[in-house]
Structure 1
Amino acid sequence: MTTTGPATDGLIDPAHWEARFAELVKKHGIPGAQLGILKVGADGAADELFTTATGVLHAGTGQVATPDSVFQIGSVSKVWTATVIMQLVDEGRFTLQTPVAEIVPDLALRDPDVTKTVTVWNLLTHTSGIDGDVFTDTGRGDDALEKYVAELGEAAQNHPLGATWSYCNSGYSLLGRIIEVVTGQTWDEAMKERLFAPLGLTHTTTLPEEAMVFGHSVGHLKGGDEPVVAPVWGMPRSVGPAGLITSRVEDVLAFARMHLTGGTAQDGTRVLSEAGVAEMADFQTECPEKILLGDSWGLGWFRCDWNGHRAIGHDGNTIGQAAFLRLLPEAGIAVAVNTNIGSAIPLYQDLYEEIFKTLVDVDLPARFELPAEPVEVDATPYLGAYSRESVLEEVFEEDGKLWMRTTVSGAVAEASGGTEPETNELIPVGPALFAFQPDKSEAYYPVRFYSLPNGQEYIHFGARATPKRPA
């Protein structure tokens, strides 16, 4: 990592970061992006807030991105949904250990035992085992989540309840339905009343017709000199609680600030209890693969060990848009980036390494790279097919190398044009750990193999646990 710019004095240098951000966005071929940096004032001092934008919202129209433009923040929305769930816990409406079926009586999952016993905590921590990538489009009506949950019984149970961790969008749509049942409002209405309004957010929405009144970003499947605009703008309303908030970085940082200050908005309004804020950031469960996102999970947040400094955050990806949010509570700092490209991890790495080193002298973990010397691993135990609802992973040997062929199906694959299989070499990094580099990507991604105590084998890739098919 190379750090440029001002000395580490804890102050935000707007001119430097505006120029550096524009330089890095261009370097990585991203059509348009926003950056926001917040340092909460200590001992009554004023906050430092910096926002900037660069590039365009749409490569076809050339509309310029500004700090007030709105981008899809994708799965960063999950932390917002989790916050409202924790408000309801504060109010005594239910507890984290309440079975979901007690709140949503018509819940009927594929496994009857899971239907009876899955808890609110399981959904918040991605430990339910419900197939996580069910993007059923149940229409644009206010009953979209109710219809979605009614069809959730068709989703597979990918692992036993609580047995491991696997990223679960479906569970967050179900959390959204819990909010609806308990409050009597749609998820969209509850978010506005319980979060957007008390936080004073003016450029944050959940519905596309609301986002359209602002300059709004459009996704891109490819950037660089020949950008490709995504064929559709957004995901179905049924996945709103998992990833449909649209916002500007300033509003995202107002949400982050509330979590950095023990649950209060900037005007002093209490949004969430101090205990609720702490519980969301505290350790809840381990992640089998600790490299891609975090080493463990809280309630909504993932948790990162930055060389002895505990950060929390979340990433978001929709169809051609990617967002990043990180908070370092000990330093009272939060950084948000919104982009309109499908993957922006190299930008995140370059930028966040520099920002946190410069402002608070904290080094992020070393990047996931190939080992200096080749590692010999017997890959025989890992060969075979692994599958879940919308993904098939085939691991095979050919020409003396190990390969993984990924075939994606369903609504998201069709919308993003990603229905053709993609094959990548798996390069050994360590025992049961491999690296691969997707086509045209600058970053390597981890792939881990592991087994549950019951003997069921899994591949953990892209934050998902996918079970191995019987031979």
Structure 2
Amino acid sequence: MSDNTALSKFIETTAAEYGIPGVSVGIFADGREIFASHGVTSIENPLPVDEHTLFALGSISKITTSTALMRLVAEGKVDLDAPVRRYVPELTLLDEEHAAAITIKQLLNHTAGLDWSIINDTGEGEDGLAKFVASLAEIPLIGEPGGRSSYSQAGFNLLGRVVENVTGQTFEKAVATMVLEPIGQAESFYLRDDIMTRRFSAGHEREENGELSVSRIWKGTRANNPGGGLASTVSDQLRLARYHLGDGRTESGEIVLPGDVIRLMREKTVDLRASLLGDAHGLCWFLRTIDGVQTAGHGGSGYGQFGEFLIVPERDFAIVVLSNASPDSIVCNQAIVRWALEHYLNVIDKDPEPMPYNDSRAREIIGVYANDAMTITVTADDGALNLECVIKPEIRAASETPMPQDHPPFPFGLLPGDEYIITSGSFQGQRGFFSRDDSGTVTGIDLGGRLFPRAS
């Protein structure tokens, strides 16, 4: 069976198992590109998905944003260790010393001490990002600058404002000029008018009865473009992956990033604990050792569309997976990535086994945890632990557009050292940990790289 046939067959089987309308996959292995797709763009207006179908990338967009930012670093226009205020003097936070201390590098590796984000709509005009940055005066601060890593969408949107102020262009124009055009990514767009005239995937949400419906939100507001607003294709993202596997030269010979800067982005800057996303952060990249092999990657999600982007530099390998149904695209995409790693590289990726249920440990962690947008409730029933993560009712009520559905509670098990793993459901394999204060009291939970402080 050829590689293309085996890949196509596995994608078809996996998409059917998880009920995913459309999946597109691109792989770079042994010096060649391999593409395979299955299904349709939308259950309402079904068109075939292929490697040139646009998907909403969600946080995979951060790879492009960081590539643009690092070009400014390479050109001497931005200093990684400089305070953000050097480039965004208008930045105001709840604490003046905190605002003055945050550096560019801390935004890139999520150690700036900013909460996940501010949920607001600052419009689709060219001032949308500037207005969003002004709203950061109200964002909760969850740690000291340069301390622990906690994933922050707001921090990457702030980096977008750095790009605007340094270049004097809108974020979208600057990224197109510095990254998309020289690398040859002709199928990547931020603005809806550019997207709607091309074939694009619709996101889907799973209803309570198990049926899928099309999400009526396609992507977030313009201010969210740096952190999660790029629409692109598997073909274009594989082109970006190949660029990051290279020496910094594009196909035309232009240097977007010097080779040493590309490698710098993959150097560890901060350790991560108990995260399926990675063992450490580079500059944007999640770094992870899988079966003894070093990888760099990033995932993305939003409004019923999900993606995985992974490179294995020492093996000159890359894979991009994009699909369009919430929440089961997560496990579908991960299954495809794991299959490809084993099939092409003989690299095995598997989950750790949780420890047996322990009632005294369970009593320490049950309770409510919350950030600005979501609430996590940990319960223990009949010798089993469950984790429920829901959008806060006031956030849902204030939203002018429909928001993704909440998921039922997930069973999870504890691992050594206050770590845990979700054991079944659409988030199976997701890992995190509980944090404690100096007295040993549990004070927070990490999920998806984000801190949720204990509320009760």
Same fold, TM-score > 0.5, yes or no: yes
Give how far 1:454 is off. 9.4
CA RMSD of aligned residues (A): 2.5
* 1:64-79 equivalences in 2 (<5 Å): 64-79=48-63
Give how far 1:453 is off. 6.0
Range with bigger deviation, 158-167 or 18-27: 18-27
Q: Which residue of 2 aligns with 1:45?
A: none
Range with bigger deviation, 389-398 or 101-110: 389-398
Letter in 2 for 1:393: I
CA contact (8 A) 2:41 2:49 kept: yes
How has the CA–CA distance of structure 1 residues 133 and 430 changed in structure 2, closer, same or farther, with 3 Å as cutoff? same
Distance 1:219 1:382 in 2: 35
Q: Which residue of 2 aligns with 1:354?
A: 339
Q: Which residue of 2 aligns with 1:280?
A: 265
Q: Which residue of 2 aligns with 1:111?
A: 95
Distance 2:90 2:9 in 1: 54
Distance 1:226 1:396 in 2: 28
Q: Which residue of 2 aligns with 1:21?
A: 11
Give how far 1:404 is off. 3.5
Distance 1:211 1:121 in 2: 32
Distance 1:230 1:129 in 2: 32
How has the CA–CA distance of structure 1 residues 176 and 425 changed in structure 2, closer, same or farther, with 3 Å as cutoff? same
Q: Which residue of 2 aligns with 1:174?
A: 158
Give how far 1:236 is off. 0.8
TM-score w.r.t. structure 2 length? Answer: 0.92
Q: Which residue of 2 aligns with 1:451?
A: 436
How has the CA–CA distance of structure 1 residues 18 and 412 changed in structure 2, closer, same or farther, with 3 Å as cutoff? farther
**2:387 counterpart of 1:404:** yes
**Which of 361, 365, 384 is matched with 2:367 structurally?**
384
* 1:248-267 equivalences in 2 (<5 Å): 248-267=233-252
- 3-state SS of 1:357 partner: helix
What percentage of aligned pairs have identical amino acids?
28
Letter in 1 for 2:61: S
**Which of 130, 138, 141 is matched with 1:157 structurally?**
141
Range with bigger deviation, 177-186 or 355-364: 355-364
* 1:196-275 equivalences in 2 (<5 Å): 196-222=180-206, 226-275=211-260
Letter in 2 for 1:230: S
- What do the CA deviations read for 1:295-331 (whole angstroms, capped 9, x no partner)? 1010011001012110000000011000111100011
CA contact (8 A) 1:369 1:444 kept: no
Distance 1:190 1:203 in 2: 16
Mind listing any 5+ residue stretches in structure 2 that lack a counterpart? Answer: none
Distance 1:157 1:236 in 2: 23
Letter in 2 for 1:273: P
Distance 2:113 2:358 in 1: 33
Letter in 1 for 2:200: H
Range with bigger deviation, 256-265 or 174-183: 256-265
CA contact (8 A) 1:413 1:419 kept: no
Q: Which residue of 1 aligns with 2:104?
A: 120
Give how far 1:349 is off. 3.1
- 3-state SS of 1:60 partner: coil
Distance 1:315 1:231 in 2: 22
CA contact (8 A) 2:432 2:446 kept: yes
How has the CA–CA distance of structure 1 residues 232 and 349 changed in structure 2, closer, same or farther, with 3 Å as cutoff? closer
How has the CA–CA distance of structure 1 residues 380 and 160 changed in structure 2, closer, same or farther, with 3 Å as cutoff? farther
Range with bigger deviation, 247-256 or 60-69: 60-69
Letter in 2 for 1:287: L
- 3-state SS of 2:300 partner: strand
Distance 2:266 2:377 in 1: 36
CA contact (8 A) 2:274 2:419 kept: no
Letter in 1 for 2:418: A
CA contact (8 A) 1:429 1:435 kept: yes
Give how far 1:468 is off. 2.1
Distance 1:454 1:99 in 2: 34
Letter in 2 for 1:22: E
* 1:20-169 equivalences in 2 (<5 Å): 20-39=10-29, 41=31, 48-169=32-153
How has the CA–CA distance of structure 1 residues 413 and 296 changed in structure 2, closer, same or farther, with 3 Å as cutoff? farther
Question: How many aligned residue pairs are there?
Answer: 450
Range with bigger deviation, 146-155 or 58-67: 58-67
- 3-state SS of 1:269 partner: coil
Q: Which residue of 2 aligns with 1:327?
A: 311
Distance 1:282 1:109 in 2: 29
TM-score w.r.t. structure 1 length? Answer: 0.89
How has the CA–CA distance of structure 1 residues 442 and 395 changed in structure 2, closer, same or farther, with 3 Å as cutoff? closer
CA contact (8 A) 1:158 1:388 kept: no
**2:413 counterpart of 1:427:** yes
Q: Which residue of 1 aligns with 2:451?
A: 465
Mind listing any 5+ residue stretches in structure 1 that lack a counterpart? Answer: 7-12, 42-47
- 3-state SS of 1:63 partner: coil
How has the CA–CA distance of structure 1 residues 98 and 65 changed in structure 2, closer, same or farther, with 3 Å as cutoff? same
Letter in 2 for 1:119: T
Distance 1:200 1:423 in 2: 43
CA contact (8 A) 2:303 2:404 kept: no
